Amino acid sequence: MHIIIGGTGHVGSATARALLRRGEPVTVVTRNAGHAAGLRDAGAKVAVADVRDVPALRAILRTGTTALLLNPPAAPFTDTDAVERANAAAIVDAVTGSGLRKTVAVSTFGARAGEPCGDLTVLFEFEEKLRAQAVPVAVNRGAYYMSNWTEMLDTVRHRGKLPSFFPEDAAIPMVAPCDLGEAAAQRLMEPADRTETLYIEGPRRYTPLDVADAFARALGRPVDVEVVPRHAWEQTFRQLGFSAEAARSYTCMTGTVLDEQDRWPDDPVRGATSLEDFICESASRKY
């Protein structure tokens, strides 16, 4: 049995469906059973638990042999680093003594040690704490999610403008959640000693101009990139409802994407889903 923590999110649900397509047994862990109705219909079992409830989560993990460990994103109006760090600690506690054969942790391209920088440092700490306990852990570091852009679909549709914190011609690694799910499913089915860190991104790197062009084709209307200047990033996050702590974290993460391109891998695992196909499919689902 494969246990999927965060099973109703983009990557968790994609992993669950990839495993189900392979005929594998899956249990999806969620705080709200209603959010997992589609996965239940597809053949998954559903277990209800909060990741902070360590005894309940460990009891669920003990019913499986492998687990996908996805640290749930914190609401942006909170101190996101503090919330996500506490979530990660609870997940590690639950894995310890679970008897699992193997786990796969979902992380991010720029994960690193150092001064706090949102998910980049939180997820690096998550990786390190998992490696310090007995259950083997394989780490998948994903590129910038294509789904981050489709969160702005309504704005793009109504205004013909694509807000971007990145310069319009900045080519960055991006990946579709479905490809992260395929990669995670594959790793869950591999031997327990396959624990190397892999980097996952899409077929090629894309710019915000590429994103705008993809939206234009999908929506049948012109779309322009509306770049937020760097000096206004933190203020813009605050105007969007982010807490002061979250705004600082997201500003740091955004800057790191642009400033540390030399840290990007030369030989990532390439997913098959193009940005154009992902945005077209997302737009068609929301009409």
Q: Containing H/E element for 157?
A: helix 153-159
Mean pLDDT of 111-115: 89
- Residue range 74-96, pLDDT digits in tens: 999 999 999 999 999 999 999 99
Using the structure block, give the residue that is written with the tokens 């310890």: 96
Q: What percent of the chain has pLDDT over 70?
A: 99
**Which of 188, 191, 195 has its CA nearest to residue 25?**
188
Q: Which two tokens stand for residue 247?
A: 């705004």
Using the structure block, give the residue that is written with the tokens 């209800």: 48
Confirm if 218 and 280 have CB atoms less than 8 A apart: yes
The answer on pLDDT for 163 being more than 70 is yes
The answer on pLDDT for 123 being more than 90 is yes
Instruction: Tell me the C-alpha distance between 139 and 127, whole Å.
Output: 7
Instruction: Tell me the C-alpha distance between 18 and 87, whole Å.
Output: 25
Please provide the average confidence, as pLDDT, over all residues in the chain. 93
- For residue 286, the model assigns a pLDDT of 57
Task: Give 286: exposed, middle or buried? Use CB within 10 Å, 0-12, 13-18, 19+.
Answer: exposed
Q: Which two tokens stand for residue 68?
A: 């996908």
Mean pLDDT of 233-242: 95
CATH number of the structural domain 2-143+176-201+262-271: 3.40.50.720
Which SS3 state, helix, strand or coil, does residue 123 take?
A: helix
Instruction: Tell me the C-alpha distance between 71 and 89, whole Å.
Output: 10
Confidence of residue 38 (pLDDT cuts 50, 70, 90): confident
The answer on pLDDT for 243 being more than 70 is yes
Give the predicted TM-score (pTM) of the model: 0.92
The answer on pLDDT for 181 being more than 60 is yes
- Which amino acid is located at 157 in the chain? R
- For residue 34, the model assigns a pLDDT of 83
Mean pLDDT of 204-209: 96
- For residue 263, the model assigns a pLDDT of 79
What angle in degrees, to the nearest 10, is found between the helix axes of 244-259 and 80-95? Answer: 80
Give the CA-trace dihedral at 95, 98, 101, 103, to 10 degrees: -20
The answer on pLDDT for 252 being more than 80 is yes
- For residue 32, the model assigns a pLDDT of 85
Confidence of residue 115 (pLDDT cuts 50, 70, 90): confident
